Amino acid sequence: MSDVSTPLAAYNAMTEDWDLVDALLGGTVAMRDAGATYMPRFPLECEASYNERLATATLFPAFSETVSNLSGHVFARPVVVGDDVPAAIQEQAMNIDLQGSNLTVFAATWFYRALAYGMAHVLVDYPRVQGARTAAAEKALGARPYCTVYAARQLIGWRFGKIDGVPKLTLARLVESVEEDDGEFGTKLVKQIRVLRRGSYQVWRCSGKDGAWFVHDEGPMSVAEIPLVTLYTGRTGLLTAKPPLREVAHLNVKHWQEQSDQDTSVRFARVRLLWTAGADVETGPDGKPKPLQASADSVIGLPTGAQMGVVQGSAESVKVGRDSLDALERQMSEAGAKLRRKDAQFTKTVQQAADDSVTEKSALGNMAQGLEDAIDQVLQFMADWQKLGDGGSVEINKDFDLDSTPDQSMATLITMNGAGNLSDQTLFEEAKRRSLVADGVNWETEQERLRSQPRL
């Protein structure tokens, strides 16, 4: 029997990927907490040995660093708000979530989550103002639309219907937690589900007594559509996606497991085990042999003909393990870098196919273009809430072509410039694009400085 809290089957199909991403972004502690899910127990390995191995395992944070680095390329420059954005929204963009985040910071959070999980959502909401009966009264009280990022995991259900021949979102169920006062000094988190329909909303909560869900709050929405915007980076369908860095995630899990093996190998290579043959073995009160003890300042007496030696792990096996880890690290780096390479093989829309420049973009460039379009949708919903007409547009940095050796490529450009095959201005712009020149320096200002600089 389903109720408002029951996720769709399409949602459940995506959770395995999200669980993996959650664990990797959570770092060493989260991976340890996942236990045998990502660190299987060996056959015949006793529980105590496994627990000790798991407790000392450490994560090489390749996945989280790849997500951060790729996001950093997109936000190497701030989001540029166009002149066509209404003045009121330009001002609101300085604190777009009513939590102090400007549009660039807010968009960076949105993009990071979308890149990690395959998609993320933004709800453009408008606060209810008690006592205000008109839009003018609400405005006088400081009411204005604001934006909230929702993780992929928070959208548990949705429906689409055809409106004017176009699939439109007609129902969305969002899981959220709100903080409320608890007693005189405390607070508590209350789980609720926000149900959005075209023109209305409901907030459902769960009864503590019988576990039944009930409508806690409801009301109308003055915007025509559900003001939810989805940013995709690994779209597979309507509100379904897969993490674009999923293979990096699986390689990172393999590294997690092999790093544990390597740590064990190193430990046994360092620790020497003493053995004897032909020596008398003392027994304790329980009849069991007493273990031999040796130290740097002790002598062990052996009877004639007895032997003693040391068993030590192979240094070669440690090297093999290290080489395997290095290879995995290179594979993860290469897999992440592929998103920055230009590739004409990505799936294009009809409009994109008509634009030859689209084939010049990398996968990350297309994700940045998707973010730009998604922010434009957000601005339009903000305009719709306030009846401001066109919401305008923004510009996102999409200039982050892969250049793993900027110093070497710059040397080539300098040679071309010296041979007269590249202009001074293009050389300057290429240096700036490689972050070898600060963003605040421009060509015209630099030329003026060169003219006023004393000649040697």
Counted domains in the chain: 2
**Where are the alpha helices (H) located in 93-188, listed in sequence order?**
103-117, 135-140
Residue 259, pLDDT above cutoff 90 = no
What is the 3-class SS of 405-424, one letter each residue?
CHHHHHHHHHHHHHCCCCCH
Residue 60 CA to residue 19 CA, distance in Å, equals: 18
- Which phi and psi angles does 383 have, rounded to 5°? -70, -40
Those residues with Cβ within 8 angstroms of residue 67's Cβ, 6 or more apart along the chain or in another chain: 25, 112, 115, 116, 245
Distance set, CA 264 to CA 41, 138, 206, 313, 326 (Å) = 14, 65, 48, 10, 17
Which of residues 354, 369, 395 is at a domain's end?
Answer: 395
Tell whether 47 and 132 lie within a shared domain.
yes
Which range is most confident: 211-220, 369-378, 414-423?
369-378
442/349 Cα distance (integer angstroms): 36
Which range, 33-42, 309-318, 338-347, is most confident?
Answer: 33-42
Instruction: Assess whether 44 and 25 both reside in one domain.
Output: yes
Question: What residue type is assigned to position 363 of the chain?
Answer: A
3-class DSSP state of 28 = helix
Residue 448 falls inside a structural domain: yes
The confidence band for 344, taking pLDDT boundaries of 50, 70 and 90, is very low
Distance CA 246, CA 203 (A): 34
Last residue of a domain, one of 350, 376, 395: 395
Burial degree of 31 (CB within 10 A; 0-12, 13-18, 19+): buried
447 and 382 co-located in one domain: no
Mean of pLDDT values over 89-113: 97
Q: How confident is the model at residue 273 (pLDDT cuts 50, 70, 90)?
A: low
- Integer Cα distance of 303 and 75 in angstroms: 75
Please compute the mean of the pLDDT values over residues 275-281 and round it to a whole number.
67
Please name every residue paired with 161 in a beta bridge, in sequence order, or none if there are none. Answer: 168
247: tokens are: 């293979």
Average pLDDT over residues 207-232: 92
pLDDT at 404 over 70: no
Same domain as 355, residue 431 = no
- Are 361 and 398 spatial neighbours (Cβ–Cβ below 8 Å)? yes
Asked if residue 136 is part of any domain, the answer here is: yes
Is the pLDDT at 358 greater than 50? The verdict is no
Residue 232 lies in a domain: yes
Query: Which pLDDT value is given to residue 391?
Result: 96
Query: Per-residue pLDDT averaged across 239-251, rounded?
Result: 94
Residue 77, in any domain of the structure: yes
* Structural contact between residues 120 and 152, judged by C-beta atoms closer than 8 angstroms: yes
**Where would I find the beta strands (DSSP E) of 233-388?**
235-237, 240-241, 273-277, 307-311
Whether the CB-CB separation of 158 and 107 falls below 8 Å is answered with no
Q: What is the pLDDT of residue 399?
A: 72
* pLDDT exceeds 90 at position 241: yes
Judged against a pLDDT cut of 80, whether residue 14 lies above it is answered with yes
309 in helix, strand or coil?
Answer: strand
Claim to verify: residue 127 and residue 199 sit in the same structural domain:
yes
Which residues touch 428 (CB under 8 Å, ≥6 apart)?
A: 437, 443, 446
Segment 51-63 mean pLDDT: 90
User: How do strand 186-197 and strand 166-182 relate by DSSP bridges?
Assistant: antiparallel
Task: Give the pLDDT score at 237.
Answer: 95
Q: Answer yes or no: do 68 and 103 share one domain.
A: yes
Mean pLDDT of the chain: 84
Q: How far is residue 123's CA from residue 226's CA, in Å, rounded to a whole number? A: 9
Last-in-domain residue among 395, 421, 438? 395
Do 43 and 96 lie in a common domain? yes
Q: How many C-beta neighbours within 10 Å does residue 299 have? A: 7
**Confidence (pLDDT) at 1:** 63
Measured between alpha carbons, how far is 374 from 384 in angstroms, rounded to an integer? 15
Do 170 and 73 fall within a single domain? yes
Q: Among candidates 369, 370, 373, 387, which has minimal Cα distance to 86? A: 387
pLDDT tens sequence across 136-173: 556 656 689 999 999 999 999 999 999 988 999 999 99
For residue 402, pLDDT over 90 is answered with no
d(CA 261, CA 231): 39
Q: Are residues 417 and 387 in the same domain?
A: no
**Residue partners of 7: CB distance under 8 A and separation at least 6:** 156, 157
Residue 139, pLDDT score: 65
Indicate the pLDDT class of residue 196, thresholds 50, 70 and 90: very high
Span of 209-218, 277-286, 319-328, 421-430 with lowest mean pLDDT: 319-328
* Segments forming the whole domain that contains residue 121: 9-248+342-395
Q: Name the pTM for this structure.
A: 0.77
Is residue 121 domain-shared with residue 192, that is, in the same domain?
A: yes
- Which has more pLDDT, 289 or 441? 441
3-class DSSP state for residue 293?
coil
- Side-chain half-sphere exposure of 92, counting CA atoms within 13 A: 24
Tokens of 271: 């620790």
- Residue bearing the bigger pLDDT, 141 or 23: 23
Residue 266 located in a structural domain: no
